[in-house]
């Protein structure tokens, strides 16, 4: 049965998606004008946010947050309007540059790596923030070993709020043309497949057996799974997106029923904010048309900063009407030798001596040291792709 788009989740806080990317003659005209504006280089996080604005993933925002929105998001997970929003989205400049900018002024925002003009920001306000407050409320720590905290603490001292005109989809759209789907495109793909209940699976790693198990649980209770991977900047040591993509496709081709999975990617940069970022991922997936987000162990976490189920609990702590996209909360998964299959603590009665714990960190360690990866841990077709990468092939 073919369904209509209005049977998918509504965009967050809006009746329609609000992509900020402009096209055609307007884009060419604005790009020409931008070349004569004050130019600001962006960090990798800010670049990824501009691209997310461009594709409509941050609907209904019209640009980088002003002070009241920043304050409300940090303290109450609400914009000034009262709309739920769990993560600040800001851009910063030095005090020296801020002193040269007047309210109402247009400035060009550029990719610091290649100099490409990505957007024009109409500056509505300039403000300083309490970096420690953002770290304590959003990341639950001020430890600068935390990669998200480090980004906040090293950003420039003055934030600029204002509306955006996005002029480019950036390099990621060119590097991964088959994976790069906008929210409008994912919604069209779901509609074409007749899907109305769609579970998103967020990943920045190749998929091992635990990931496979999580997504297959989701397929049992929805119409299909949207394997939606991070294409923005990653942590040192993470497996590159092109390698990860091939590994995931090897799993899909060999171990999933055709037509039950869509693999795609998006240009976000991970903040590693744990529970708050789980909410953010759900909000973004609502814009992409997903009814559910798979939330497993330590979603969007790093190190030991968050408990394994903190991202589960936070969904119960927000008002029920905050999000349409709901979590699929799944316990820690493992391979049980006695059960002879994948299981969780809810389904397996056996002890830890029979359980093979599986994690992306362990898999990377085994690959880097040349240790054989057991079949209980990862599929051989996936391992073959990853071995070639680690062997430099």
pLDDT mean across residues, the chain: 94
DSSP H helix total and E strand total for the chain:
14, 14
Tell me the CB-side half-sphere exposure of residue 114, using CA atoms within 13 A: 8
Last residue of a domain, one of 168, 183, 199: 168
Cβ within 8 Å of residue 314, ≥6 positions away: 275, 276, 278, 279
- Per-residue pLDDT tens over the stretch 133-156: 999 999 999 999 999 999 999 999
Predicted pLDDT of residue 204: 85
Q: How far apart are CA 35 and CA 20, in angstroms?
A: 19
Predicted pLDDT of residue 234: 65
Active-site residue 204, yes or no?
yes
Predicted pLDDT of residue 365: 84
Of residues 45, 159, 187, 204, which has the active-site annotation?
204
337 in the same domain as 275: yes
**CATH number of 65's domain:** 3.10.400.10
Q: List the beta strands (DSSP E) in 153-305.
A: 158-166, 198-203, 224-230, 261-266, 292-295
- Per-residue pLDDT tens over the stretch 5-39: 458 999 999 999 999 999 999 999 999 999 999 99
- Structural domain of residue 162, as residue ranges? 24-168
Of residues 159, 187, 205, 209, which has the active-site annotation?
205
Task: Look at residue 5 and tell me if it is in a domain.
Answer: no
Last residue of a domain, one of 168, 192, 214: 168
Active-site residue 209, yes or no?
no
Predicted pLDDT of residue 75: 97
SS3 187: helix
Whether 293 and 202 have beta carbons less than 8 Å apart is answered as yes
Task: Look at residue 11 and tell me if it is in a domain.
Answer: no
What stretches in the chain show pLDDT beneath 70? Answer: 1-6, 233-236, 393
Task: Look at residue 46 and tell me if it is in a domain.
Answer: yes
Nearest CA among 200, 86, 178, 193 for reference residue 140: 86
Whether 142 and 135 have beta carbons less than 8 Å apart is answered as yes
- Nearest 5°: phi and psi at 25? -65, -35
Q: Is the dihedral of CA 346, 360, 214, 212 positive or negative?
A: negative
102 in the same domain as 31: yes
pTM of the predicted protein model: 0.94
247 in the same domain as 104: no
Whether 325 and 293 have beta carbons less than 8 Å apart is answered as yes
Last residue of a domain, one of 168, 203, 221: 168
318 in the same domain as 196: yes
155 in the same domain as 237: no
Residue 196 C-alpha from the chain's centroid = 21
Predicted pLDDT of residue 393: 61
How many domains is the chain built from? 2
Task: Look at residue 12 and tell me if it is in a domain.
Answer: no
225 in the same domain as 162: no
Nearest CA among 198, 237, 232 for reference residue 215: 198
């Amino acid at each position: 049965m073919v369904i209509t788009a209005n049977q998918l989740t509504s965009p967050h806080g809006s009746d329609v998606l609000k992509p900020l990317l402009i096209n055609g003659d307007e884009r060419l005209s604005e790009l020409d004008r931008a070349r004569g504006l004050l130019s600001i280089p962006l960090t990798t996080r800010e670049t990824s946010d501009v691209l997310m604005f461009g594709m409509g993933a941050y609907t209904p925002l019209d640009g980088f947050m002003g002070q009241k929105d920043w304050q409300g998001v940090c303290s109450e997970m609400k914009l000034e309007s009262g709309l739920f929003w769990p993560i600040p989205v800001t851009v910063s400049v030095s005090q020296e540059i801020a002193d040269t900018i007047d309210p109402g002024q247009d400035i060009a925002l550029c990719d610091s790596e290649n100099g490409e003009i990505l957007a024009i920001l109409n500056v509505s306000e300039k403000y300083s923030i309490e970096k420690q407050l953002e770290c304590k409320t959003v990341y639950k720590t001020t430890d600068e070993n935390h990669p998200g905290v480090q980004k906040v603490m090293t950003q420039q001292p003055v934030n600029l709020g204002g509306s955006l005109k996005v002029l480019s989809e950036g390099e990621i759209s060119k590097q991964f043309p088959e994976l790069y789907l906008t929210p409008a495109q994912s919604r069209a793909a779901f509609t074409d497949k007749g899907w109305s209940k769609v579970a998103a699976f967020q990943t920045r790693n190749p998929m091992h057996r635990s990931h496979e198990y999580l997504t297959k649980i989701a397929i049992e209770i929805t119409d299909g799974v949207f394997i939606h991977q991070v294409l923005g900047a990653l942590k040192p040591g993470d497996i590159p997106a092109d390698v990860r993509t091939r590994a995931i496709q090897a799993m899909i081709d060999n171990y999933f029923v055709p037509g039950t999975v869509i693999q795609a990617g998006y240009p976000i940069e991970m903040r590693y904010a744990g529970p708050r970022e789980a909410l953010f991922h759900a909000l973004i997936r609502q814009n992409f048309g997903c009814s559910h987000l798979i939330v497993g162990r330590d979603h969007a976490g790093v190190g030991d900063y968050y408990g394994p189920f903190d991202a589960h609990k936070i969904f119960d702590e927000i008002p029920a009407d905050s999000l349409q996209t709901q979590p699929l909360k799944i316990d820690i998964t493992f391979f049980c030798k006695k059960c002879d299959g994948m299981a969780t603590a809810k389904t397996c009665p056996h002890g830890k001596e029979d359980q093979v714990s599986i994690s992306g960190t362990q898999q990377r360690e085994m690959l880097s040291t040349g240790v054989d990866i057991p079949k209980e841990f990862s599929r051989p077709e996936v391992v073959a792709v990853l071995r070639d990468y680690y062997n430099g092939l």
